[in-house]
Amino acid sequence: MSNRKVSYFYDSGIGKFNYGGDHPMKPKRIRLTNDLITGYGLHSKMKIYPINRSTFEELSQYHSKDYVKFLKDVTPDCKEIFTKVLDKFNVGEDSPIFDGLFEFSQISAGGSVQGARKLNNGETDIAINWAGGLHHAKRSEASGFCYINDIVLGILELLKYHPRVLYIDIDIHHGDGVEKAFEKTDRVMTCSFHKYGKGYFPGTGSINDVGFNKGENYAVNFPLNDGMDDESYFYIFKRTIDIIMNYYQPSAIVLQCGADTLAHDPLGCFNLTLKGPGECVKYVKGLGKPLLVLGGGGYNPKNVAKCWVYETSLLIGETELSNILPDSNYFQDYPEETKLHIETLTMKNLNEKKHLDKTFFQILEHLKQIEPAPSVGTRTVPYETLKFEITSSEEEDELDKREEKGGYLLEEEEDDEDDEFSWDEEDNDFNLSSTIDYFEESYDQLPSFLLINNKIKKREKQKPILWIDNPNIAMKNRIQISLFNNINKFKHNSNKDNIIIIQREPEENIENKKKIEERGKVIEKEKEKEKEKEKEKEKEREKGNGGERGKGMEIEKVNENKIQQKQENIKEMEIERGANIEKEKQNRNQEEIVNGKGNVIGKEQGGIHENITRNEVNIDHKDKQYNMNVNENGNIDRMQILKENEKKMETGKEEMVNLNKNDNEKKNHEEQTISNNEKKY
């Protein structure tokens, strides 16, 4: 298909930009490329267009307005003012601020969007923008030397006309920014061939990274190892693209041609010559689809220029370029460079064929899971509805509410229970059941705001609501929305413009529900712990009660032993006293005999001797000696002894009573203590 129309987009100011003296990204490589294109005379075989630089609004079709405004306002001289947002937008050493940053981004994006429009309008078959291909940039973040993702903007432009777009990335680094933008939609399939391994930027692009929700299995990643050569590279490239074309059948293709896969690239680790990526470009051209060709990585400027001029020649159908470089204005800075083609390095190819085949068959299994074409939607879809599928964060989910001053309308809609959804049943273009099917896919991606016809509509509802104004017109224009699963209500108001409003439950409500559920789980765990503690306390109480009872019984036993011992002591005292009385009688009889009066003396003294009891004698138990009282005549005063002994006996009885009383009180006190402890536990 050598007769295909080719358009070439170039801005002569692109070479003046400089990331910094030591930075590997050199915009001058694009100027070197153009120098070789004109040197070989290829420009005469293409339609050349100066690039229309993208406007703020065009860049904001994908990127957040805050981020685009930052790029527009920041300069190296005033970057200190933006210190707080530099980290937020990931601007720093890899992606630095330099003079003309915003202008550079406008040129890069402008060529890609302009090329996509030419393809949509049928003005060209192939559009080339070597200043594009900056595939790492995210919606609100710079990454990997990329600030504005011109590829995403170009694809969005193609999607206004083409139902399915295939994106192919042959840069040595994974095309993470493009995959991220479209990972939730089936309208774009991304396919990246790249070095993948620990520590290699950007660290994404595993074979298992296949997309999400509606976009599941629409992201294809072919991870590769060091040393990849031309033969192996084209082998896996052709097989993979063949099966993708068979399963997906895209109506347009975007090809990113990063040249850092070449041997001698300071940031690369492959061993390709110009032939390797050249064969890939030639093969994609032969597929006959509208084709947008972009630049990308590549950090050996002279080799990058050689690669892209060679690929340009293949795209316009030039049979063979001379290996001798033509005279040029800028290549004279490299006087040692005289030949077009480059040599390989001496390095081992770590990509074994069996490993490549295994990866290929894994990809094939993923592709078998997608809906075969043409079941994938074939209708033209406005960008506003597609925006549901390309957003990927909380910030991305919500359109800029601060744009009220810019003419957008924020308004609350009253809920009218009587205003029911209606449509013309004879209008076959509108099908309620198929519309509901669209909404049963992925409710999680639904933003709180939707912009259509330059108006922002907002609903303060916790349940999702779909509102279609003038549904016949909406469906005739093929407004396709492939989102959420809980349809609450359809409403129609013919007095309004053709607007679709969709509201999901606010993020904070979802978060609060999660927190409540988590708190409930924590409370349940705490209750379980409290129950365990109660069981442990119960066991300790049982052990403690047993100990108190045992202690009480032991005290009671000791008290009984004390009482028994005292009773035995009293008995011994009584026995000893009786024995002493007997001895005292014997002594008295001996005294009577000594006095010669015998019993007469006893009688004269009133016979009281016969009434002397055992209590006459006071016994000292310590020395076992008698201590008897005598009167003034030297005789024993037995009456006095008797009285004293009786008094001592009474005292002994009182001591016994008090001892028993004290023992009983102690026993009662101990029993009361045990009882109180049992009640306490």
Contact 113, 154 (CB under 8 A): yes
**Is 136 assigned a catalytic role?**
yes
Q: How far apart are CA 674 and CA 554, in angstroms?
A: 13
In angstroms, rounded to a whole number, what is the distance separating the alpha carbons of residues 51 and 62? 20
For residue 447, the 8-state DSSP code is -
Pairing verdict, β 219-224 and 188-195: parallel
CA quadruple 474, 479, 481, 485: dihedral positive or negative? positive
In Å, the largest CA–CA distance within the chain is: 180
The two structure tokens encoding residue 513 = 């529900």
Q: Show the tokens assigned to 8.
A: 């070439």
Backbone φ, ψ for residue 106 (5° rounding):
-65, -40
Euclidean distance between CA atoms 37 and 313, whole angstroms:
8
Q: How far apart are alpha carbons 137 and 154 in whole angstroms?
A: 14
Geometric angle at alpha carbon 289, from 283 and 295, rounded to 5°? 65
E-state strands within 206-320: 219-224, 252-256, 291-294
Catalytic residue among 63, 135, 136, 609: 136
Rounded to the nearest angstrom, the gap between the alpha carbon of residue 125 and the centroid of all alpha carbons in its chain is: 45
Cα 375 to Cα 186: distance, rounded to the nearest angstrom: 11
Q: Is 477 helix (H, G, I), strand (E, B) or coil?
A: coil
Q: Residue 487: what residue type?
A: I
CB 584 within 8 A of CB 592: no
Residues 243, 472: contact at Cβ < 8 Å? no
Question: What is the C-alpha end-to-end distance of the chain, expressed in Å?
Answer: 97
Q: What are phi and psi of 293, to 5 degrees?
A: -105, 130
- Which residue type occupies 154? G
| Interaxial angle between packed helices 230-248 and 353-367, expressed in degrees from 0 to 180 and rounded to the nearest 10 | 10
CA nearest to 499, candidates 436, 425, 408: 408
Number of helices and strands in the chain (H, E):
18, 13
Q: SS3 for 74?
A: coil
Instruction: Please list, in sequence order, all residues whose beta carbon lies within 8 angstroms of the beta carbon of residue 62, skipping any fewer than 6 positions away.
Output: 139, 149, 152, 153, 156, 181, 390
Rg of the chain in Å (alpha carbons): 53
CA-to-CA distance for 77 and 65, rounded, in angstroms? 22
321-327-333-337 Cα dihedral, nearest 10 degrees: 40
Nearest CA to 50 among 7, 101, 102, 18?
7
Q: How far apart are CA 322 and CA 339, in angstroms?
A: 9
Per the CB < 8 A criterion, the answer to whether 104 and 51 are in contact is no
Of 446, 450, 456, which is closest to residue 184 (Cα–Cα)?
Answer: 446
In whole angstroms, give the CA distance from residue 575 to residue 263.
127
Where in the sequence numbering do the catalytic residues fall?
136
